[in-house]
Structure 1
Amino acid sequence: MEIEGVRHRSRLREDGVSQSEVRRWLRNGTMSSAQPWYLTEAAPPGLVRMLQLGVRPTCLDGASLHGLWIPPHTGAHAFRPRMLRAGAELQDVRLHPVRRRGGKVIIGDDEAELVLHGPALRSWPDHDPVPDLDIVLTHAAHCLPVAKAAVIFESGLQRGLLTRRSAERILAALPQRIRRPLSRVRGDAESGTETTVRWWMESRHFPVRSQVLFPDGRRRMDLLVGRSWVIECDSREFHDDPLSYDADRARDLYLASRGYRVTRLSWEQVFLRWEETTRMLLTILRRGDHLDPPRP
């Protein structure tokens, strides 16, 4: 995947840029060099730092740059450098994680431990600063807890960046302990929060369905638990859209008028206070009210 402001030296040659022109750009400050990369002011600082160390973003960082939803997780995740250079010089390195938000590449607020993914290669498989999505997803599957890896896979499927056939090919190459649970990934989840809640319910064998049609046949519920409990999952980390807020409340009121009980979970409840949230969900589930039909 290409990133604005970052060009591999081979790409410049393919574009017909001469070495004399590259040297002139380096002299006048139009470009800087972090071999084999040439960088302009448009290059994202967090990514530049990774490239200067000889690594490339993958796993969470790479998935975010590809435009996928990612769950919160620690570390700045990088593909290991070639020629086995990942020795003592990289053991204590801390970097700002690299993320894409609102169409722009940004860096995380706090530095994090550099998490290196293998295998170390003698040469990179391509000339882009961000590895292909297949590599990124493979690293995520090996690195992350299965529910968090599922968020990334389902994001790729839902956004059309990953085909079902490609997902099956990636999964087939994984160890069985990873492949078997991830075989449940699906392409209709509309947020990482929805995937996380559904995955938790399924793992505990509670009856849950996703994207069930409203009684009016025009809209869909995020999750229907049992026969009558609707869980709507907020996909936004930052709540600043009054139109969405109003539409969400209109959905909730309609469902309540048709006899459904509606619970709305925020991004923070799912990703920042998940242990507390699941305790309360279990309390509700053990009462068994969700097994009753809706009462309009």
Structure 2
Amino acid sequence: MRIRGIVHRRDLPLRGISETERRRLLRQGRVRRVATWYVTPEAPEDLLPILQRGARATCLTAAEHHGLWTPLHSGAHVYRPRGLSPDQLGEEEVGHGRGLRCWPDTDPVAALPLALDHAARCLSAPEAAILFESALHRRKLSMDAVARCVAGLPRTLRTPFSRLSSRAESGTETAVRWWLESLRVTVVPQVWIPAVGRVDLKLGTNWIIECDSVRYHDNLEQFHRDRARDLRLRALGFVVTRLTWEQVFLEWEATSEHLLTALRRRDHRKKLPR
């Protein structure tokens, strides 16, 4: 993936930059050299230490640069050439790859299929699914392209990804749906309810779960729209649960216990009023 403000030295002629021009830009301070790269002030700062060590961004770090919804994480995920040993990575860097003989391209960030391949091997299946489903929802990859990514994985890793859906609209929704499916709960994403519109998840006959997709949701107008929708759903006989990003990714142990309690009562199996 090309990144604005970062050019590999081999690509300078392709950008119309001659050797004389390269030297002039360096003298003027308009670009600086980072290992085999030339960067301008608009280059993302998080990538520069990775490139300086001779590695490149992949997995969760690449997914962020590709514009995907990513779960909470710390540290950078990088893939490395054969000449760079794991102990040469940064203290908080997570290494990927098996020591490539050479880079497949001159881009500073792994192409999305490669980043997803690394994610499937690095993360839990539900975490990797968040990236795959975000790529589908944002039309970064087609379902056929995702299927090819999954087909290249070891058999033990491929099986869970048969549940991937292009209908999930947020990582929060993916995380909750995958947890419910792991319990063999019947759950359908993005269901259309007359007089209400689409809802994130429908469990059984009458339980609607709406998932906030952003941290610290504080849009007052959206808050009022959401509550109006909830009221209409209640009037139709649905039970509505609204989960925040924080409840799913910071307080999941307590959140999942509350959801399990409701599931055990089998309230979601009750018939809707006529």
Deviation at 1:73, TM superposition (A): 2.6
Do 1:260 and 1:295's aligned partners in 2 also have CA atoms closer than 8 Å?
Answer: no
- 1:1-296 equivalences under 5 Å are 1-80=1-80, 82-90=81-89, 93-94=90-91, 113-216=92-195, 219-295=197-273
SS of equivalent to 1:120: strand
Do 1:79 and 1:118's aligned partners in 2 also have CA atoms closer than 8 Å?
Answer: yes
Moved more, 133-142 or 45-54: 45-54
Instruction: Measure, in 2, the Cα distance between the counterparts of 1:87 and 1:143.
Output: 15
Instruction: Measure, in 1, the Cα distance between the counterparts of 2:237 and 2:87.
Output: 62
Residue type at the aligned position of 2:230: D
Give the TM-score normalised by structure 1: 0.89
Q: Tell me the C-alpha RMSD between the 2 structures.
A: 1.3
Do 2:82 and 2:98's aligned partners in 1 also have CA atoms closer than 8 Å?
Answer: no
Relative distance call for 1:219 and 1:59 in structure 2 (3 A) is: same
Do 2:192 and 2:199's aligned partners in 1 also have CA atoms closer than 8 Å?
Answer: yes
Q: Which runs of 5+ in 2 are unaligned?
A: none
Instruction: Measure, in 2, the Cα distance between the counterparts of 1:244 and 1:281.
Output: 24
Deviation at 1:177, TM superposition (A): 1.7
Instruction: Measure, in 1, the Cα distance between the counterparts of 2:201 and 2:86.
Output: 47
Deviation at 1:55, TM superposition (A): 1.1
Deviation at 1:122, TM superposition (A): 2.2
Residue type at the aligned position of 2:19: Q
1:257-277 Cα shifts (integer Å, max 9, x gaps): 111010000000001111111
Instruction: Measure, in 2, the Cα distance between the counterparts of 1:15 and 1:6.
Output: 11
Do 2:137 and 2:168's aligned partners in 1 also have CA atoms closer than 8 Å?
Answer: yes
Aligned length: 274
SS of equivalent to 2:99: coil
Instruction: Measure, in 2, the Cα distance between the counterparts of 1:191 and 1:64.
Output: 14
Instruction: Measure, in 2, the Cα distance between the counterparts of 1:257 and 1:87.
Output: 58
Instruction: Measure, in 2, the Cα distance between the counterparts of 1:244 and 1:11.
Output: 46
Instruction: Measure, in 1, the Cα distance between the counterparts of 2:110 and 2:145.
Output: 16
Instruction: Measure, in 2, the Cα distance between the counterparts of 1:14 and 1:25.
Output: 16
Relative distance call for 1:266 and 1:194 in structure 2 (3 A) is: same
Deviation at 1:251, TM superposition (A): 1.2
Residue type at the aligned position of 2:17: V
Do 1:191 and 1:235's aligned partners in 2 also have CA atoms closer than 8 Å?
Answer: yes
Residue type at the aligned position of 2:31: M
Give the TM-score normalised by structure 2: 0.96
Same amino acid, percent of matched pairs? 48
Deviation at 1:294, TM superposition (A): 2.2
Do 2:206 and 2:269's aligned partners in 1 also have CA atoms closer than 8 Å?
Answer: yes
Instruction: Measure, in 2, the Cα distance between the counterparts of 1:19 and 1:259.
Output: 71
Instruction: Measure, in 2, the Cα distance between the counterparts of 1:294 and 1:243.
Output: 30
Relative distance call for 1:74 and 1:260 in structure 2 (3 A) is: same
Q: Which residue in the other structure is 1:99 paired with?
A: none
SS of equivalent to 2:102: coil
Q: Which runs of 5+ in 1 are unaligned?
A: 95-112
